[in-house]
Chain A
């Protein structure tokens, strides 16, 4: 057993944990990062790489917009690793009235936040992307969206934070938080090690739920499995993100391969859970099918790999970010609901600002932990 002490203990080394470590080090705080598996094991490495503002909940939109404006464009220089960020737009395809209404709703949310998003119809769609099938009758086009490489972005933050002196420990499974004199202060691990810090950041995805339960907190998150397919490298065809109202999303990477994700929504009924990270038998086929229908030009490309990951679904669709009013010492980021990659670095910066006792650059009041607390209290009062 050993006791290690730092200003900030971060649980989870994904894009949020590692960027928080990076920003904490820049502010001069000492940092220990604890990771249960290897660096970026969770959703940070297992996502489609969309750096997207459109189609987001208005409550979390400021974080995504801040990241797109202030963080993503400079990351290559800051980290010394290329996160392959491209701001070339996002096209979302639909082919019936329901899809069109869905796109129009997204345009309304985007317009309210000042993001340019337009509805394309007919030949205008092929003008943006000539490979899209003619059966796609409506599409939403957001020029300020883009894509990045989740693998190099996450590892880039890790590499830079480590260079700046953040201490990383992998395969260090956290089993318990401990309250000392009214404030969360200690982290106990499976191996019997103890870590002490004046601020504990929990950025461990849905596993964070079990960790915060040990100090009496809870956030309603549950994991959902999704699959992704990777094709062989092809000559450059288009450089923007593309998605379908049929659920698929993806893009062509710098490398030339296409990455596409989707899920049928039947994972849980068929017994697929995040503790068994297997590719499902039917999701990859479903992705190929939906992609082939909307972009027929990709049909002859060969699939060389499929992989799966899990989404930390929060029941109301946005994460819990920030401090807990009644329990000092713990800072939460939990339940990104499948769109946590793009705002990830902004969340990391926000958590570092909170840990340093500063005013946050982005308004996160609508993502507070208490939004669930109030709900339970009001039930108690009126039941």
Chain B
């Protein structure tokens, strides 16, 4: 079994760090400390951290902060960032107005 698939591994006490107040996800204003706390609550994947706190759910959809979030989670769990699966990208590529999206016409 991969280490991260056992959700009961002991991460120890959460030790405050000097830069815990730094904002990692600028769109949703999520700090490093909040992400670290979420990992200690049992959120071991990018998707779970995102669903709980919203980093990567804002206007840029994680294009800016994904790497930082991933590194923070990996460091907290004591694994390589490569072991943390990246967030899923979803359409649309750019924000698009509801009235434009809903006005599709069949081409000739």
Q: Which residues of A contact B (CB under 8 A)?
A: 38-40, 45, 81, 151-152, 155, 158-159, 162, 167-172, 191, 193, 229, 231-232, 255, 279, 282, 284-292, 298-307
Give the residue of B1, B41, B43, B97 whose beta carbon is less than 8 angstroms from that of A302. B97
Closest to A300 in B: B97
CB of B95 closer than 8 Å to a CB of A = yes
Known contacts A39-B45, A159-B42, A302-B96; 18 additional CB pairs below 8 A are: A39-B42, A40-B51, A45-B51, A151-B51, A151-B52, A155-B48, A158-B42, A169-B6, A229-B98, A255-B54, A284-B101, A286-B102, A300-B97, A300-B98, A302-B98, A303-B97, A304-B61, A305-B61
Please determine whether A306 and B98 come into contact, CB atoms closer than 8 angstroms. no
**How many positions in chain B have a CB within 8 Å of any CB in the partner chain?**
33
CB of B78 closer than 8 Å to a CB of A = no
A151 and B95 CA atoms in complex are apart in Å by 22
Closest to A45 in B: B51
A292 and B57 CA atoms in complex are apart in Å by 23
Please determine whether A152 and B8 come into contact, CB atoms closer than 8 angstroms. no
Please determine whether A285 and B104 come into contact, CB atoms closer than 8 angstroms. yes
CB of B107 closer than 8 Å to a CB of A = no
Neighbouring A residues of B103 by C-beta, 8 Å: 289
Give the residue of B6, B51, B96, B101 whose beta carbon is less than 8 angstroms from that of A155. B51
Please determine whether B51 and A288 come into contact, CB atoms closer than 8 angstroms. no
User: A155 with B98: in contact, given A169-B7, A306-B90, A306-B92 (CB under 8 Å)?
Assistant: no
Neighbouring B residues of A300 by C-beta, 8 Å: 97-99
Closest to B104 in A: A285
Interface centre among B1, B90, B92, B102 (most CB of A within 10 A): B102
Interface centre among A40, A167, A288 (most CB of B within 10 A): A288
Please determine whether A81 and B52 come into contact, CB atoms closer than 8 angstroms. yes
* Least Cβ–Cβ distance between B93 and chain A, in angstroms: 10
Q: Tell me what chain A mostly uses at the interface: helix, strand, loop, or mixed.
A: mixed
How many residue pairs link A and B with beta carbons under 8 A? The number is: 108
Give the residue of B2, B8, B95, B99 whose beta carbon is less than 8 angstroms from that of A162. B8
Please determine whether A162 and B7 come into contact, CB atoms closer than 8 angstroms. yes
Please determine whether A303 and B101 come into contact, CB atoms closer than 8 angstroms. yes
Please determine whether B101 and A288 come into contact, CB atoms closer than 8 angstroms. yes
Please determine whether B99 and A279 come into contact, CB atoms closer than 8 angstroms. no
Please determine whether B59 and A171 come into contact, CB atoms closer than 8 angstroms. no
Q: Tell me what chain B mostly uses at the interface: helix, strand, loop, or mixed.
A: loop
Give the residue of B1, B57, B99 whose beta carbon is less than 8 angstroms from that of A288. B99
A307 and B56 CA atoms in complex are apart in Å by 14
Closest to B45 in A: A38
CB of B66 closer than 8 Å to a CB of A = no
Neighbouring A residues of B52 by C-beta, 8 Å: 81, 151-152, 155
Neighbouring B residues of A305 by C-beta, 8 Å: 57, 61, 90-92
Please determine whether A193 and B1 come into contact, CB atoms closer than 8 angstroms. yes
Neighbouring A residues of B99 by C-beta, 8 Å: 288, 292, 299-300
Closest to A231 in B: B98
* Least Cβ–Cβ distance between A303 and chain B, in angstroms: 5
Please determine whether B8 and A167 come into contact, CB atoms closer than 8 angstroms. yes
CB of B47 closer than 8 Å to a CB of A = yes
A307 and B90 CA atoms in complex are apart in Å by 7
A355 and B78 CA atoms in complex are apart in Å by 37
CB of B5 closer than 8 Å to a CB of A = yes
Complex A-B: 9 CB contacts under 8 Å:
A39-B43, A151-B51, A158-B42, A170-B5, A193-B1, A288-B98, A289-B102, A298-B98, A302-B98
